[in-house]
Structure 1
Amino acid sequence: MTHFKNALPRRNPLPLPLPLPLALAMALPLALAACGGGGGGTDTPAPSGSKSITIDFAAKAGTQDVKCGTAITGLGNAKVSAQLHDLRFYVSNVALVNDKGETVPVTLDVSDWQTKDVALVDLEDGTGACADAGTKAMNPQIKGTVPAGTYTGVKLTVGVPSSLNHTDYAVATKPMDVQAMAWSWQAGRKFAQIEVNPTGGVVRPAPAAPGNTFYVHLGSTGCTGNPVTGETVSCDRPNRMDFSFANFNTATQKVVVDLAALYTGTNLNEDLGSAPGCMSGATDPECNAIYKVLALDLVTGKPINGGSGQTLFRAEAK
């Protein structure tokens, strides 16, 4: 806090003390201002001429709320039950669409969950089956500012920009330092890590042993170049998922990630080969159905029609 001991020249006589009630009334606003306010909040005030916005996220499977430690029923074409194992994803290129149809980038607040370029949405709480690699802390929001105006839509990308993707997580700033989201064998990050443990496990072709978890890991593949030695990394298949909602109100709506939609056409009890589940491989049998949901081209790793046909995310009233 600011101290006022030497605010007046020494040659001036000190003023007479104020009556105690009046002194307290005058001091309180100064104390609150110096210490950041009395509400205990950490939100950064929006700059003049702009407004703060929050984009909320939630996890569901159809109409069921999804959370760690609670069974999710009726998943995939076998309609199996499953426990959530992990649910985290990076989001970038966050923008709103104004009433003139113009795309306006959101200036992200910098925090443990956000850099100025990317945010980590974390919808697991480290309990139940999520205890394997999860954390207690959650982040169901993206926070930032936009110029004052009227906004009617939203655009986002599930993914990390290439310039930030191929860096050492061990020395990266938050939230790029999450070891569970690092993808060392592809020299980058998992853009999305969505995992469930289906009842009955996951049968795999011999000689592979059955597994407990069906993995969906989205990230750039076909990458060359070693960032540790200073080489530029290039990836044949970027696998960054674009999605948008033409009608979206950040004050009254939220973004729902729908696991029932994600596993449409997928048998969670069976893996036909390659990596367990879908780990973004162009020849992975399980990725065919998953990529249709994401509106990503399995061969090129690029969005189909700007991601307009994706069904993983939907807008819903708060």
Structure 2
Amino acid sequence: MIRNKRTYLTVFVIMVLFGLVACSRQPAVLTFVSDLHTPQICGALPKQPDYQVRQFTFYISGLELLIDEQWQPVDFFPTEYQAEHTAMIDLTPHCDDASVQTQVQVPLAVGYHHFSSAEAIRFAIGVPFTHNHKDPLTQPAPLNESSMFWSWQRGYKFLRWDLQHNDTGHGWSFHLGSVGCTSASALRAPTQPCSSPNQVTISMKKDSNDGYIFVEAQKLLNDVNLDNSTGCMFHLPEEADCQPLLNHIQQPWITWLNR
């Protein structure tokens, strides 16, 4: 009888240990949520409900965790939406078709236990220069998304935000990417970094371990009159909204969310 009890106890301990090991190997996951997905205003801006979101997509790269006062680089777990160093976040609301899935979850190539030790997190909105000017037809996901590509010379749109007025059809767009990229033609990749890379670093304190990140898109539009603007796509120097948007995107519009 004692031997059986010891056997059961041994088996139980082994099972617990295996469970702990399995849990520690589970990848940590970041989940992005936004102010564009509340049931009352699905797809509409919280403060400008006459405008509907047509696309809201951005790339993140260079993710790091602050552990014991040291920033440690962390790769992404490769999926159909992300490669080792770059992930795509697609927060485009699909209010009329619930079957269309947005891309809001980012598995990390690090275990949950390691992730829980982090005090802060940071990443860039952008694509690394070494990948930014390659042919999207030969790139792995998520850099094979043609709607996010300008040209070999200019590279990718790091963030694409398209709006349309419900009644007038007036369109507004913010396409963030590198400018000042020099090469022989638009079909040639530059050999040196662009003069204005326009990659934005997002840094935040990690207040919990649930991995939820809140994207408050409305904050980007402070002091921007949508009715009197077509936005900023870095096509012309006189695009008046470019500088305000570049200023706002440096502010804390992406933050850690405690649920």
| Normalised TM-score (structure 2) | 0.78
Q: Please say if residues 155 and 242 of structure 1, whose CA atoms lie closer than 8 Å, have aligned partners that are also in contact.
A: yes
Q: Please say if residues 65 and 118 of structure 2, whose CA atoms lie closer than 8 Å, have aligned partners that are also in contact.
A: yes
**Partner Cα separation in structure 2 for residue 57 and residue 246 of structure 1:** 15
Residue 280 of structure 1: how far off its partner (Å):
4.0
Q: Which amino acid aligns with 1:265?
A: D
Deviations 1:42-91 (Å, cap 9, x if unpaired)?
xxxx9998662111101116xx728996433423xxxx631111011000
Q: Please say if residues 85 and 195 of structure 1, whose CA atoms lie closer than 8 Å, have aligned partners that are also in contact.
A: yes
Question: Structure 1 stretches of 5 or more lacking a match?
Answer: 1-45, 202-210, 296-309
Residue 96 of structure 1: how far off its partner (Å):
1.3
1:265-276 equivalent positions in 2, closer than 5 A: 265-271=223-229, 276=230
Matched, 1:124 2:92: yes
- What secondary structure does 1:171 align onto? coil
Question: Structure 2 stretches of 5 or more lacking a match?
Answer: 1-20
Q: Look up the match of 2:72.
A: 104
Q: Look up the match of 2:258.
A: 317
| Percent identical residues | 22
Deviations 1:266-293 (Å, cap 9, x if unpaired)?
111112xxxx301246652111221111
Q: Which amino acid aligns with 1:213?
A: G
Q: Per residue, is there more helix in 1 or in 2?
A: 2
Structure 1 counterpart of 2:210, from 252, 264, 279: 252
**Partner Cα separation in structure 2 for residue 191 and residue 66 of structure 1:** 28
Residue 180 of structure 1: how far off its partner (Å):
0.7
- What secondary structure does 2:65 align onto? strand
Please identify the structure whose Cα radius of gyration is greater. Answer: 1
1:1-318 equivalent positions in 2, closer than 5 A: 52-60=27-35, 65=38, 70-75=43-48, 81-98=50-67, 100-124=68-92, 126=94, 136-146=100-110, 148-149=113-114, 150-184=117-151, 186-199=153-166, 201=168, 212-225=170-183, 226=185, 228=187, 232=191, 234-249=193-208, 251-271=209-229, 276-280=230-234, 283-295=238-250, 310-318=251-259
**Partner Cα separation in structure 1 for residue 246 and residue 182 of structure 2:** 23
Against the structure 1 CA distance between its residues 70 and 229, is the aligned structure 2 distance closer, same or farther, given a 3 Å change threshold?
A: closer
Against the structure 1 CA distance between its residues 227 and 195, is the aligned structure 2 distance closer, same or farther, given a 3 Å change threshold?
A: closer
Q: Please say if residues 66 and 72 of structure 1, whose CA atoms lie closer than 8 Å, have aligned partners that are also in contact.
A: no
Q: Which amino acid aligns with 1:223?
A: C
Q: Please say if residues 200 and 269 of structure 1, whose CA atoms lie closer than 8 Å, have aligned partners that are also in contact.
A: no
Residue 246 of structure 1: how far off its partner (Å):
2.2
